[in-house]
Amino acid sequence: MKKIFILIMIVAFLVAFYVPKGEKYSVIVMAIAVVIFMFGMMKLSSKLPSKNDEEDDENI
């Protein structure tokens, strides 16, 4: 599942930067690509442990 999100994020990143600027819908395509990229980053970073978790365990 992680590999799928990484692949989707790379495709969205490439689409956001290589969309032709002269087209009518280029801003919409770029905005959608950025939203997909941010959604993928959110999903991937949700699985990482927080830095504050270790400090909370020590206080208890």
- Stronger pLDDT, 46 or 59, i.e. the higher one: 46
Q: Note the pLDDT of residue 15.
A: 82
The residues spanned by each domain of the chain are 2-47
Q: Two tokens at 30?
A: 């770029």
pLDDT in tens, 8-54: 888 888 888 887 777 777 788 888 888 988 888 888 888 777 777 55
pLDDT band with cut points at 50, 70 and 90 for residue 55 = low
Distance in angstroms (rounded) separating the CA atoms of residues 41 and 7 = 12
DSSP per residue, 25-53: THHHHHHHHHHHHHHHHHHHHTTSPPTHH
Q: Note the pLDDT of residue 8.
A: 85
Identify whether the C-beta of residue 8 lies closer than 8 Å to the C-beta of residue 34: no
Q: Cα dihedral sign for 8, 13, 17, 21? A: positive
